[in-house]
Structure 1
Amino acid sequence: MDQFEKLARRHNYLSRISAAFLYALAVAVALNFFWTPGKIYASGITGFAQVLQSVSERFLPFTLTTSVMYFVLNIPLFILGWFKIGHKFTIFTIIAVLLGSIMMKLISPIKITYDPIICAIFGGVVNGVGTGLALKSGISTGGLDVLGIILRRKTGKSFGQINIFFNLIIVICAGFVFGWSRALYTALNIFINGRVIDAVYTQHQKMQVIIVTEHPKHIVEGIQEKMHRGITILHDAEGGFSHTEKTVLLTVIDRYDMYDIYNIVLKNDPYAFMSCSEVSKVYGRFIEQKPV
């Protein structure tokens, strides 16, 4: 392995650890600055950990703290991720969850009473940004993210949609524990959190690209070399204005590939026509990028 590859790998590890730290800080701030003072439950495993703390405070002689239960509830999902997703992915997920649990303990809840709507909005935004950045860096924040990755591969649903589906039970728990007005604020928080995750983490979004060109060979070679994507080639097309012979290239890419494919087309045919549109679902032999 040459020095460049070693440096690239080291930079990749450092960026993932940094993303894990930023997520841990974000979830701790969201929990202790907004959700706890506003009596609002979070989404996913964090929300379930909050539910366990509320139940233990009311019915048990001891308290199952959110910070501890957040890590404990993730242990079965670490095992699932290890076998179903990838070893490196799971190791960085454990780091993110462990840091999050520590930050929840170190950052004490503030004693200021906020409007619950403000708590719902800002808590959802802060946690959504942290989770989205973690996913964007190739790591998970544990919990429903692990289930979301596995189910997304099978169903094509986005992370936010999967989170909203699983979090309905948390909304019901919030209604019984804090009252149904708080259930509404919890639902608002979960919805905002899911939308922010989808806005920040866009790798799961697929784009259909249509290229009309007079020089298809080099464009096809560039796309296949850079992105390893399949391309459908339609010959004998005709330009309506110039009446010259054209070739139409059709492919589906990740949104992250947009910059690369634009530069490939620009380099090989500056006069090519290219259109891009988002697709909701892809069937067939589309290669999903796997976390490592």
Structure 2
Amino acid sequence: MQKKSLIFVFHLIVNLLASLVTALAFNYLIIPNNILSGGLTGITIVINYFTGWGVGLLYFLFNIPIFIWAYKELGKRFIVYSGIAVLVLSVFIDYLPLKPYFVTQDPMLASIYGGIMLGLGVVLWLRIGGSGGGMDIVAVLLNKRYGLSVGQVSLVLNGIVILMSTFIYSVEQTMYTLITIFVSSKVIDGLQSVQSKKTVMIISPQSRVITDQIWSKLNRGVTYLDGSGAYTNQETKIIMCVMTRFEIAELKRLVFQIDPDAFITINTTDEVLGHFRKGKASTSI
């Protein structure tokens, strides 16, 4: 119990740090220089431009229906961590002072460093098995239900934000928005490989129990491989499963909760061909 509490506290600290880094990027680099970011935050900045309502408040309100949609699909832990992130981020954005504390009035520097900080915030959230809410959650939901990649969803949503920016900012400011989105996506890809799939191999005498948990909690299909230990010469079932980066943290938690001595390998898979099964099914090889 003490170990679980320490892990939760550590994850909470990382969550707060990610929210702070993201809020600093918005308040001291992006918003003061009339730059948009991608996704839902970019949309809230546009609405703020016309209404004067707080960006943080708008972001919190828009996330409510997204969380209602996601509650049954993504699991309690993901929702709790993401909910904490949204609440803290919304407060930070609205209550951290803006002027005269923004770092630079050079929009090029603001777009580059703002993009770096936004990307870093996303990576920190993903490391603990959460997200910053907004379109990150929408992307995961669409990936699970329809097989759309995170990259495809982000491309469409960011395209909408860029289109809206042309109506309120100059063409030059829109180009800076493109730089911010590009830099943040490259930071995420470089640090986390978000858009790649992960192939997981699990060796444990509790393979049946672990498989049942993968089915019920992650809704992922499993393949059994026949294996044997070179030293013990004992036959065993090796679990193979392909999933997204978003699900890895939850998978490790489930496996080690059942078998603390389980052996897990996780490899990046650049491409998956054929049917990327999401339902309750397993096969043996």
Provide TM-score, normalisation by structure 2: 0.71
8 Å CA contact 1:120–1:189 kept in 2: the answer is yes
User: In the alignment, which residue of structure 1 is the partner of 2:166?
Assistant: 175
User: In the alignment, which residue of structure 1 is the partner of 2:184?
Assistant: 193
User: In the alignment, which residue of structure 2 is the partner of 1:230?
Assistant: 223
Q: How many residues align?
A: 243
User: In the alignment, which residue of structure 1 is the partner of 2:234?
Assistant: none
Match of 1:21 among 12, 16, 29: 16
Question: How far off its partner does 1:45 sit?
Answer: 1.6
Where does the alignment leave 5 or more consecutive residues of structure 1 unmatched?
A: 1-5, 57-62, 211-218, 235-248, 258-262, 267-275
8 Å CA contact 1:116–1:185 kept in 2: the answer is yes
Question: How far off its partner does 1:203 sit?
Answer: 6.4
User: In the alignment, which residue of structure 2 is the partner of 1:54?
Assistant: 49
8 Å CA contact 1:206–1:278 kept in 2: the answer is yes
Task: Determine if the alignment matches structure 1 residue 115 to structure 2 residue 110.
Answer: no
Counterpart code for 1:32: N
The change in CA–CA distance for 1:287 and 1:279 in structure 2 (over 3 A counts) is farther
Question: How far off its partner does 1:34 sit?
Answer: 1.1
The change in CA–CA distance for 1:108 and 1:157 in structure 2 (over 3 A counts) is same
SS at match of 1:230: strand
**Which piece of structure 1 moves more, 11-20 or 25-34?**
11-20
2-structure distance, mates of 1:220, 1:196: 33
2-structure distance, mates of 1:31, 1:200: 21
Question: How far off its partner does 1:156 sit?
Answer: 4.2
User: In the alignment, which residue of structure 2 is the partner of 1:242?
Assistant: none
User: In the alignment, which residue of structure 1 is the partner of 2:40?
Assistant: 45
2-structure distance, mates of 1:208, 1:135: 17
SS at match of 1:138: coil
The change in CA–CA distance for 1:46 and 1:284 in structure 2 (over 3 A counts) is closer
SS at match of 2:223: coil
Match of 1:142 among 128, 133, 154: 133
The change in CA–CA distance for 1:223 and 1:117 in structure 2 (over 3 A counts) is farther
1-structure distance, mates of 2:263, 2:15: 33
Question: How far off its partner does 1:11 sit?
Answer: 3.0
8 Å CA contact 1:220–1:231 kept in 2: the answer is no
The change in CA–CA distance for 1:139 and 1:70 in structure 2 (over 3 A counts) is same
Where does the alignment leave 5 or more consecutive residues of structure 2 unmatched?
A: 212-221, 228-237, 250-261, 281-285
SS at match of 2:133: coil
User: In the alignment, which residue of structure 2 is the partner of 1:66?
Assistant: 55
Match of 1:36 among 31, 44, 54: 31
1-structure distance, mates of 2:164, 2:195: 30
The CA deviation string for residues 161-203 of structure 1, in whole angstroms up to 9 with x for no partner, is: 4223212111112111111111111122112222322333346
8 Å CA contact 2:225–2:240 kept in 1: the answer is yes
SS at match of 1:34: helix
User: In the alignment, which residue of structure 1 is the partner of 2:258?
Assistant: none
Question: How far off its partner does 1:224 sit?
Answer: 5.5
Alignment of 1:213-252 (within 5 A): 230-231=223-224
Question: How far off its partner does 1:160 sit?
Answer: 4.2
Task: Determine if the alignment matches structure 1 residue 93 to structure 2 residue 82.
Answer: yes
8 Å CA contact 1:32–1:108 kept in 2: the answer is yes
Greater C-alpha Rg: 1
The change in CA–CA distance for 1:113 and 1:204 in structure 2 (over 3 A counts) is closer
Provide TM-score, normalisation by structure 1: 0.69
Counterpart code for 2:63: N
Task: Determine if the alignment matches structure 1 residue 159 to structure 2 residue 154.
Answer: no
1-structure distance, mates of 2:176, 2:34: 9
SS at match of 1:126: helix
The CA deviation string for residues 30-71 of structure 1, in whole angstroms up to 9 with x for no partner, is: 101110122101122211111111011xxxxxx211121111
8 Å CA contact 2:207–2:239 kept in 1: the answer is no
8 Å CA contact 1:208–1:250 kept in 2: the answer is no
Question: How far off its partner does 1:286 sit?
Answer: 6.3
8 Å CA contact 1:133–1:200 kept in 2: the answer is no
User: In the alignment, which residue of structure 1 is the partner of 2:252?
Assistant: none
